[in-house]
Amino acid sequence: MTQPPITDIPAYMADLGRRARTAARALARAATLDKDAALIAIAQHIERERAVIATANRADLDAGAAKGLDAAMLDRLELTPGRIDAMLEGLRQIAALPDPIGAITDLNYRPSGIQVGRMRVPLGVVGIIYESRPNVTADAAGLCLKSGNATVLRGGSESLASNQAIAACIRAGLTQAGLPADGVQVVATTDRAAVGSMIAMPEFIDVIIPRGGKGLIERISRDARVPVIKHLDGICHVYLDAAADPDQALRIVMNAKTQRYGTCNTLETLLVDAPVAATLLPPIAAALAAQGVELRGCPRTLDLVPYALPATDEDWDTEYLAPILSIRILDGLDAAMDHIARHGSAHTDAIVTQDYGRARRFLREVDSSSVMVNASTRFADGFEYGLGAEIGISTDKFHARGPVGLEGLTSLKFVVLGDGQVRA
Amino acid sequence: MTQPPITDIPAYMADLGRRARTAARALARAATLDKDAALIAIAQHIERERAVIATANRADLDAGAAKGLDAAMLDRLELTPGRIDAMLEGLRQIAALPDPIGAITDLNYRPSGIQVGRMRVPLGVVGIIYESRPNVTADAAGLCLKSGNATVLRGGSESLASNQAIAACIRAGLTQAGLPADGVQVVATTDRAAVGSMIAMPEFIDVIIPRGGKGLIERISRDARVPVIKHLDGICHVYLDAAADPDQALRIVMNAKTQRYGTCNTLETLLVDAPVAATLLPPIAAALAAQGVELRGCPRTLDLVPYALPATDEDWDTEYLAPILSIRILDGLDAAMDHIARHGSAHTDAIVTQDYGRARRFLREVDSSSVMVNASTRFADGFEYGLGAEIGISTDKFHARGPVGLEGLTSLKFVVLGDGQVRA
């Protein structure tokens, strides 16, 4: 896997971008059968090269350990046999998804006699910047390929050898299916200047999807010269309405908070309507405490749950990603929606209620990428929503919102069919 | 209309933005009936205040003339009675359009038992930067209001008094309908720093739509800290395929080039397949020349149309917006699509053909916001497409492509309905 050092980063990245841009035209018009054949062929090459990939990954892990990476980082970096299986399964699942490209919708006759419709088309070249998680390389390449986009992938520097080993399989699979190997570019330098180049090449890259820590994403969003599909905070709320079913309330809060602590769709702040707080909250708090969740409450919460800690103003604006939950008792739906508007991150928020009118208002008025009635916030996920897979979750409103699957990697162009019509 | 001078521009713009952001929540949940009532009331106030608006416009025109504005600029600045009628008609038409907000699509049951769908929602606060064309003030406010968005409008400095007179009618109409007057903010300073502030307030403005010259739009796109829906060049092509119907070819080229010279969907480069050039091109060239269109041709064109001027390389990349047409004879569909990919601006491109297979390929493979078969490029327009009205035309692929109507001012959020489901 040794390569000559890359010294002129801007020139190197421009070359990568130019190759991707050229390949994008071929991928945009590629037949579904060929794209699916490439996905299967990539999986076969990865399967065949397991030993090579494992050796490269071993080198990355050894270098990472020598560099003093912590256990969590080393864990994410490792390509266990199970993770390689998951990559293969992911590629095969993407091959089985319907092809979104070329689909024409709303093709209608206009008074002038022309037919006007919209055709789904790729975005072009998608740039993805991610942490040292080499399995993302195959997932991201697969989703972009199926949606007819070329890709420039820049993984964390600690995963360079692993990514290059996977990249070789991707190129081989594309070539085998008769598609341009340049359609997936995996950046082969750890120089951080590569990221700076990537986000400032609108002539070669149409959109950037950063995955990773909030600091990285904020920095990229600030400096990018192209659109960014980004995911920032996930400060998710569950609001227990006066008409909440108590069993549902308990089940949903427990699942939303404790099923996994570190995910963006995990519950961080529980809101409770005052009239039902005395009956609903103590058993839920006890169940959470029994699971080791630290509770931080408003003054009214502390009256009902004396073992909770006092919440500070900062708690309402915090994504814990940890076994900690803030709890606030307030007066009615409007107060709850005000709290969510002020402190939420527009990610995922749920109401638990049997009241039809308040459910309807919550659905319409809460401005988050996922709004739920009587369901766990943990459902906010591309697989659970039936998107097949997701390249990320967008907390923006522009272009794509919420889990981003194949469709988020596409756009719509207008198509017009006539038989000689001209404008009057 | 005299107002105290505004000295602290950033503070002034932040105040405007904050008011718009607050009003946006009320507009997002506003009932269709109330939004429509506001649109009608705004039209009534403009009708009633015709004299006041005319006086303000007269002041703008006098100041503009004293400043030495050219005739075209003064023409755009003028609010003739006919233009005021058109504003009123536009507002009433927008009121009559279906309300896109709140519509839920694709609500399907998932294996987990939850129902997942997508609800159309406003973008939030839309900032619009435009030239000294005061009629745009009412049009833009109307489209944003109907789509549930708050708006910050910044028109050209020469139209300040006219815009403020219209702004007073907008505020009165909103108030009359029980909607927040702060939902439409019309910037009341001519200081150019206001634009700089507007494009760098992601906390208050969600998207910027610049309208005007290419230089302005490029500058805004480069410096903006929020997404921009932008329209750059319109270098539109018509390709006369070997199987083109000669009558359709003549009719479409004449309409696409000569119906209006200054619009973005006007034909700028005619491409002709070599085998039919000798029969198709001379009569079309003669008809164009008879209308006073200057022809600039490739060498093969000059053989057939001796009175054409030689085209330079620059011609293929030029949006004339004038009675000038470049003509190139080439060999077959792939050469035509290569030319369009290299020299086009991804705006609107058409093929004239009776060949099924080549029509199908052109539709799929040409990467432009509008792709047409046997129709004039002049149809690329919100009204002609049935969008009802357009706030602009996007030459981007991200978010919205082509004519942007109400839907382009919206996003989709996920809605989830359950009865206590939790994630396994």
Which one of A102, A375, A416 has the shortest CB-CB distance to B364? A102
Cross-chain Cβ contact A417/B207 below 8 Å: no
Residues 236-265, chain A, touching B (beta carbon < 8 A): 245, 247-248, 251-252, 254-256, 259
Which chain B residues contact residue A108 at CB under 8 A?
386
What was the pLDDT predicted at A3? 60
Rounded Cα–Cα distance for residues B123 and B120 (Å)? 10
- Mark yes or no for CB contact A259/B380 under 8 Å: no
Give the pLDDT band (50/70/90) at residue A423.
very high
Of B102, B124, B422, the CB nearest to A397: B124
Please count the CA atoms within 13 angstroms of the CA of B106 that sit on its side-chain side: 13
Looking at the domain B236-384, which fold is it? Aldehyde Dehydrogenase; Chain A, domain 2 (3.40.309)
Q: Residue B411: phi, psi to the nearest 5?
A: -135, 175
Pair type for strands A115-122 and A402-404: unpaired
In chain B, residues with a C-beta closer than 8 Å to the C-beta of A378 are: 422-423
- A341: tokens are 């508007």
CB within 8 Å: A414 and B245: no
Sign of CA dihedral A219, A220, A224, A227: negative
Closest CA to B182 of B22, B8, B13: B22
ipTM: 0.93
Is the CB of B106 inside 8 Å of chain A's CB atoms? no
Q: Give the A:B interface size as CB pairs under 8 Å.
A: 219
Q: ∠A33-A36-A37 over CA atoms, to 5°? A: 80
How far apart are alpha carbons B401 and A399 in whole angstroms?
Answer: 11
Token digits for A350? 């749920």
Note whether A379 contacts B420, CB cutoff 8 Å: no
Helices (H) and strands (E) in chain A, counts: 15, 16
CA A266 to chain centre: 14
CA B124 remoteness from chain centre: 19
Q: Is-contact B9 B162, C-beta < 8 A?
A: no
CB B212 within 8 A of CB B195: no
pLDDT above 70 for B65: yes
Tell me the per-residue pLDDT of B209-246, one tens digit each, with 9 for 90 and over: 998 888 889 899 888 888 899 888 899 999 999 999 99
**Beta-bridge mates of residue A347:** none
Backbone angles phi, psi at A413, to 5 degrees: -110, 155
Query: A164: which residues sit within 8 A by CB, 6+ positions away?
Result: A1, A3, A56, A186, A188
Per-residue pLDDT tens digits for A328-384: 999 999 999 999 999 999 999 999 999 999 999 999 999 999 999 999 999 999 989
Question: Does B3 have pLDDT greater than 70?
Answer: no
Least CA distance to B124: which residue of chain A?
A: A397
Res A4 pLDDT > 70: no
- The predicted-structure confidence for B295-306, as pLDDT tens digits, reads as follows 999 999 999 999
Which residue is listed with tokens 């570190």? A262
The amino acid present at B178, given as its one-letter code, is G
Domain boundaries, chain B: 9-229+402-416, 236-384
Residue the block writes with tokens 């050796």: A55
Q: Residue B182 belongs to what H/E stretch? A: none
Tokens standing for B316?
A: 């293929």
Q: What is the pLDDT of residues B316-375, one digit of tens each?
A: 999 999 999 999 999 999 999 999 999 999 999 999 999 999 999 999 999 999 999 999
pLDDT band at B1 (very low <50, low <70, confident <90, very high): very low
Rounded CA gap, A295 and A312, in Å?
Answer: 12
Q: What is the pLDDT of residues A95-106, one digit of tens each?
A: 999 999 999 999
Residue count (chain A):
424
User: What's the CA gap between B239 and B244, in Å, rounded?
Assistant: 9
Residues sharing a CB contact under 8 Å with residue A375, sequence separation 6 or more, in sequence order: A252, A350, B114, B416, B417, B418, B420, B421, B422
- Note whether B374 contacts A227, CB cutoff 8 Å: no
Query: What percentage of chain B carries pLDDT values higher than 70?
Result: 99
Residues from chain A contacting residue B399 (CB–CB below 8 Å): 227, 398-399, 411
What tens digit of pLDDT does each residue of B197-208 get? 999 999 999 999
For residue A121, the cross-strand partners are: A411
By CB atoms closer than 10 A (0-12, 13-18, 19+), residue B54 is: middle
Q: Closest Cα of chain B to A282: distance in Å?
A: 19
In order of A16, A85, A179, B334, the CA distances from A13 in angstroms are: 5, 31, 22, 29
Phi then psi dihedrals of residue A260, to 5 deg: -150, 135
Q: Kind of pairing, strands A236-240 and A267-273?
A: parallel
The arithmetic mean of pLDDT across residues B134-142, rounded, is: 94
Question: Which pLDDT score, from 0 to 100, does residue A2 have?
Answer: 52
- Find the distance separating the first CA and the last CA of chain B, reported in whole Å: 64
User: Contacts of residue B380 in chain A, CB cutoff 8 Å?
Assistant: 414, 416
Question: What average pLDDT does chain B have?
Answer: 95
The chain A residue lying nearest B401, using CA atoms, is A413
Asked whether B307 and B272 are in contact (CB, 8 A), the reply is: no
Q: Is B287 on the interface with A (CB under 8 A)?
A: no
Q: Please report where in the chains the tokens 């994403």 appear, as a residue.
A: A217
User: In chain A, what residues touch B419 (CB-CB under 8 Å)?
Assistant: 248, 374
Distance from CA of B160 to the nearest CA of A (A): 30
Helices (H) and strands (E) in chain B, counts: 15, 16
Q: Dihedrals φ, ψ of B122, to 5°?
A: -65, 160
Rounded to whole angstroms, the Cα distance separating B19 from A375 reads 34
- Average pLDDT value for residue range A16-33: 97
The proportion of chain A whose per-residue pLDDT surpasses 90, expressed as a percent, equals 89
> What is the DSSP secondary-structure string of B228-283?
B-------EEEEE-TT--HHHHHHHHHHHHHS-SSSTTSEEEEEEEHHHHHHHHHH
Query: Is B276 near chain A, with CB under 8 Å?
Result: no
**A372 contacts on B by Cβ (under 8 Å):** 415-418
Letter string b/e over residues B276-308, b meaning 16 or more CB atoms within 10 A of that residue's CB: bbeebbeebbebbeeeebebbbbebbbebbeeb
Q: Find the closest chain A residue to B21 by CA distance.
A: A341
Task: Spell out the CATH class of B9-229+402-416.
Answer: alpha beta
- Chain B environment of A200 (Cβ under 8 Å): none
Q: What is the pTM of this model?
A: 0.92
Name the closest residue on chain B to residue A114, using Cα atoms. B375
Chain B hits for A399, CB-CB cut-off 8 Å, are 227, 398-399, 411
Give the number of other Cβ atoms within 10 Å of residue B80's Cβ: 12
Q: Do domains A9-229+402-416 and A236-384 have the same CATH topology?
A: no
> In B, which residues are within 8 Å of A243 by CB distance?
none
Of B269, B258, B246, whose CA–CA distance to B352 is shortest?
B246
**What's the pLDDT score for residue A392?**
84
Q: What is the nearest CA distance from B67 to chain A, expressed in angstroms?
A: 37
Q: Is B385 on the interface with A (CB under 8 A)?
A: yes
How many C-beta atoms lie closer than 10 Å to residue B325's C-beta?
Answer: 28
B193/A contact by beta carbon, under 8 A? no
Residue B345: which of B218, B246, B249 has the closest Cα? Answer: B218
End-to-end CA distance of chain A: give it in Å, rounded: 64
Radius of gyration of chain B (CA): 24
Name which of B415, B422, B419 is nearest B116 in CA terms.
B415
Dist CA A109 CA A117 (whole Å) = 9
- Interface check B419 vs A, CB under 8 A: yes
Question: Nearest chain A Cα to B260, which residue?
Answer: A423
Mean pLDDT, chain A, whole residue set: 95
Q: Which of residues 111-140 of A touch B (CB under 8 A)?
A: 112, 114, 116, 119, 121, 123-124
From the number of C-beta atoms within 10 Å of its C-beta (0-12, 13-18, 19+), residue A299 rates as exposed
Structure tokens at A369: 């990428």
**Which residues does chain A have within 8 Å of residue B412's beta carbon, measured at their own beta carbons?**
401
pLDDT of residue A1: 45
**Is residue B116's pLDDT more than 90?**
yes
Tokens of B145: 């209001």
Express each pLDDT in B75-91 by its tens digit.
Answer: 999 999 999 999 999 99
Mean pLDDT calculated for residue range A177-203: 95
Separation of alpha carbons A280 and A242, rounded Å: 10
**How far does CA A376 lie from the centroid of its chain?**
18
Is A114's CB within 8 Å of B375's CB? yes
Q: What is the pLDDT of residues A108-137, one digit of tens each?
A: 999 999 999 999 999 999 999 999 999 999
In angstroms, the CA B344 to CA B236 distance is 7
Measured in angstroms, the CA of A92 and the nearest CA of chain B are apart by: 21
Sign of the torsion angle spanned by Cα atoms B136, B139, B144, B145: positive
Tokens of A280: 């609903």
Q: How far apart are CA A319 and CA A344, in angstroms?
A: 10
- What is the predicted pLDDT for the residue at B2? 52
